[in-house]
Amino acid sequence: MNFQKIKIPAEGTKIKIVNGKPQIPDQPIIPYIEGDGIGRDITRAMKTVVDDAVSKAYKGKRKISWMEIFAGEKANQLYGNYLPDETIDALKEYIISIKGPLTTPVGQGFRSLNVSIRQILDLYACVRPVRYFSGTPSPLLRPDLMDIVLFRENTEDVYAGIEWEAGSPDANEIVRYINQNYGFSIREDSGIGIKPMSEFASRRLMRKGIEYAIANNRKSVTIVHKGNIMKFTEGAFNNWCKKEAAENFRDWIVTEDELYSMYDGKLPDGKILVNDRIADSMFQQLLLRPSEYDVLVTPNLNGDYLSDSAAAMVGGLGMAPGSNIGDYLAVFEATHGTAPKYADQDKVNPGSLILSSVLMLRYMGWIEAADMIEKGVGAAITGKKVTYDLARQIENAVEVKTSEFAAEICKNM
């Protein structure tokens, strides 16, 4: 494929899909979007750390060929478009990529670029691991008990973007239609949003969550929903996820009923417990009994709240990695925004994007490099040489710049 502005690196090979799985060459071309605001600082730091880890882990046998692609403000300057077609083409063609945060200009009719990327590429699972790094300031007494991976549905729910403004002709028409035909009494000055949730999308998300639990030796998959109130959306989500587990993973799973009726409350070796929790109760459970949870599967809105809340329990968004995964396409990303007031100051914590690169390396099967980076991050934090956000909460910490924190990670790998 020929691109207009994207420069394909002279060295490196495309990742291919073989038998439904990405096949990773020793020198894969990985597209990256630098991102707006602090994106520039943290992307630079992330690439330094990844290159160093890969070089140390594989002694030159493996290497990433980075290929810059454009979205956000930089794309608008280059193409006059915040999300050019060739960026989408590159994300599709090169399979695995990583991105910094992107600004969503506030104003009517501007859809979030992040949401657009997820929806155009059908990256239906937002996967966010939340674990504790020793020494990170946390509001919990035992943050070390938290080690969960959250699979949030990415394409449906109230986030599907089907909305009408209060008083608009469409909203008026819908309100009138529902009131007249279904006997409801929606107030006439209401804004209207639609919450679609399908069996197809719920089951494919659950499949990803269970496959992850199997591959990573996790002990439970908990469906989080608000089905006691929203029976035909969130309640159905719970039922469809359980149906997927029962129909396609019967030999792997034990339900909560079976756990007590057949196994005296003890999960047999090699089995995965499938249970469910009401969303509001889940917020309490994560605070009070985090060690009882492992993989969480959630609808879009609940998952958004829950992932940020869980991240806060182990040290905040500066350290929370994320990824958006489809059947095989994957875009890894920092979970925070562009924090424009800190842009280009070499100041913020690059931890979120660096830990996202760890997820990317694991997805590629480059486990040794991923382990090295995690070790480096852990040691940098216990050594108390950290960026401002952590330094302001850790006693006797030395505040370092973004680039110095990256160097500290490399030194400790």
- Of 47, 74, 99, 226, catalytic: 226
DSSP code for 336: S
Active site residue 243: no
Euclidean distance between CA atoms 311 and 133, whole angstroms: 12
By beta-carbon proximity to ligand NAP, the closer residue of 220 and 402 is: 402
For the bound state, the minimum distance from the C-beta of residue 232 to ligand NAP, rounded and expressed in Å, comes to 30
CB of 336 to ligand NAP, least distance (A): 3
Q: What Å distances lie between residue 137 and 15, 31, 399, CA to CA?
A: 39, 33, 14
* Minimal CB distance residue for ligand NAP: 337
Torsion sign (Cα): 275, 131, 310, 327: negative
Nearer to ligand NAP (CB atom), residue 36 or residue 234: 36
List the catalytic residue out of 159, 293, 342, 388.
Answer: 159
Active-site annotation holds for 304: yes
Task: Kindly list the distances between the CA atom of residue 308 and the CA atoms of 38, 128, 320, in Å, as whole numbers in the listed order.
Answer: 19, 10, 8
Binding stretches for ligand NAP (CB under 6 A): 38, 42, 101-104, 114, 317-318, 333, 336-339, 348-349, 352, 389
Catalytic residue among 280, 341, 344, 411: 280
For β-strands 330-334 and 321-325, DSSP reports them as antiparallel
Q: Contact at 8 Å (CB) between 290 and 359?
A: no
Distance CA 174, CA 192 (A): 8
Q: Is 260 a catalytic residue?
A: no
Give the residue with the Cβ less far from ligand NAP, 146 or 348: 348
Antiparallel, parallel or unpaired: β 272-278 and 220-225: parallel
Q: How far is the CB of 193 from ligand NAP (least distance, A)?
A: 19
Q: Is 159 a catalytic residue?
A: yes
The tokens describing 9, both together, are: 């690196």
- Helix or strand holding residue 55 (H, E): helix 39-58
Instruction: Give how far Cα 54 sits from Cα of 365, 367, 368, Å.
Output: 12, 10, 8
Supply the minimum distance, in Å, between the C-beta of residue 340 and ligand NAP: 6
Our CB check for ligand NAP shows the closer of 138 and 338 to be: 338
Q: How far is the CB of 42 from ligand NAP (least distance, A)?
A: 6
Please state the closest distance from residue 106 (CB atom) to ligand NAP, in A. 7
Residues 6 or more apart in contact with residue 308 via CB below 8 angstroms: 317, 320, 335
Q: Among residues 36, 276, 294, 304, which one is catalytic?
A: 304
Q: Which residues contact 184 (CB under 8 A, 6 or more apart)?
A: 178
Catalytic residues: 159, 226, 280, 304
